[in-house]
Amino acid sequence: MNPGRPGAVDPLPSWNPGRAKSVLLDFVARVTDQSGADFVPPADRVATFDNDGTLWCEYPLQVQVFFLVDRVKALRDADPSVGDRQPFKALLEHDAATLHSLGKQGLMELFAATHAGMSEEEFGRVAHDFLATAKHPKLGTLFSENVYRPQVELLKFLRGNGFRTFIVTGGGIEFVRAISEQRYGVMRDEVVGSNDKLQFEIVDGKAQVKKLGELNSFDDREAKPANIALHIGRRPILAFGNSDGDLAMLRYALGGEGPRLALLLHHDDAEREFAYDREFHLSPLAEALDKADAYGIVLTSMKTDWAEVF
């Protein structure tokens, strides 16, 4: 099948005609053409996607930061003195300067600490409950609804062409798993992410795995390719990101033999979503933007390449 042939149903209707869409259609056509020089067997058709800012909205703060605030509120309800202590106080007051000074890793460490002693299954329920009700402060919609329609189409299009699609996120692996199947069609085991130290234990005769409250791996920047090697065991042939935190993953995808494609989403659409890049302290897009051309990374403009956003 040549998905780009005239008369065929457009598999990416939310993508405007342009370079990004052409490159995607051409790449999939080439790697699936059994008679072509660029054919890739299905087992090797691995595509990895960042989550925050690539598959769903991450602005003005990553969804997990709102979840962290929610969690700290619950801890304060149980023990009011929590509200007087830093950095909890800053979190409860949405003090942006303090949040940014903690950085994404610091926030992930704090997040891990606030779940110490919880079983993986308990955490899953708490995350599910949060995502079922919590709303974006500006968009007014559920966080879990703010997934990008063009990317959901792309994930389906890739899977329909024998790709397996993985999420490789700086966010918490269990947090993203709470929505990955329903929202993206990506199975829980196909999610790679930041993760906590875990411990097996028997409680009242029942076996369970408990979170120890300490970060095991912060899955950002150079850790992304290393965690891809650990969890997936294959170098992706296609990778999609939106920040400097994804640059190592994009270069890893491009560094193998045969056909390769790396894409970067640029948030340049203040009207339908948000416009930001270098100045977004929690996850800037600067080096990757400056060097995209030199590295052969294809820029995707939210404003011009996407016909729809949500």
| Count of positions on this chain that bind a second copy (CB under 8 A) | 42
Residue 189 near a second copy by CB under 8 A: yes
Q: Is residue 188 a contact point for a second copy (CB under 8 A)?
A: yes
Least distance to a second copy, CB of residue 212, Å: 10
Which residues are registered as beta bridge partners of 165?
47
The answer to whether 289 and 277 are in contact (CB under 8 A) is: yes
Q: Which stretch binds a second copy (CB under 8 A): 57-65, 72-80, 152-160, 232-240?
A: 232-240
Q: 198, 275, 299, 307: which one contacts a second copy (CB under 8 A)?
A: 198
Is residue 74 close enough to count as binding a second copy by CB under 8 A? Answer: no
DSSP code at position 84: G
Q: Which helix (H) or strand (E) holds 56?
A: none
- 8 A C-beta contact, residue 294 and residue 302: no
CB atoms within 10 A of CB 255: 12
Give me the helix-helix angle, 63-78 and 120-133, nearest 10°: 110
Bridge partners (DSSP) of residue 202 are 207
In the bound state with a second copy, the residue whose beta carbon lies nearer, of 13 and 258, is 258
Copy the structure tokens of residue 42: 């299905």
Binding to a second copy, residues 166-185 (CB under 8 A): 166, 173-174, 177, 181
SS (H, E, C) 203-257: ECCEEEEEEEEEEEECCCCCHHHHHHHHHCCCCCCEEEECCHHHHHHHHHHHCCC
Q: Which stretch binds a second copy (CB under 8 A): 80-88, 108-116, 194-202, 270-278?
A: 194-202
**Which of 97, 206, 271, 279 is in the footprint of a second copy by CB under 8 A?**
206
Angle at 62 between CA 45 and CA 217, to 5 degrees: 60
Binds a second copy (CB under 8 A): choice among 75, 90, 187, 275: 187
Binding to a second copy (CB under 8 A) within 4-43 occurs at 43
Tell me if 248 contacts a second copy by CB under 8 A.
Answer: yes
* x-marked contacts with a second copy along 132-171 as a string, rule CB under 8 A: --------------------------------x-x-----
Q: What is the DSSP code (8-state) at residue 8?
A: S
Please report, in angstroms and rounded to a whole number, the separation of the first and last CA atoms in the chain: 28
Task: Output the smallest distance, CB 256 to a second copy, in A.
Answer: 8
Closest distance of CB 65 from a second copy, Å: 22
- Burial track 80-116 (b if 16+ CB lie within 10 A, e otherwise): eebbeeebbebbbeeeeeebeebebebbbbbbbebbe
CB of 309 to a second copy, least distance (A): 29
Q: Give the span between the Cα atoms of 108 and 238, in whole angstroms.
A: 27
Q: Closest CB to a second copy among 120 and 268?
A: 120
Distance of CA 261 to the CA centre of its chain: 18
Binding region for a second copy (CB under 8 A) out of 53-61, 74-82, 84-92, 204-212: 204-212
Write out the residues near a second copy by the rule CB under 8 A: 43, 120-121, 164, 166, 173-174, 177, 181, 187-191, 195, 198-200, 202, 206-209, 216, 222-226, 228-235, 248, 251-252, 254-255
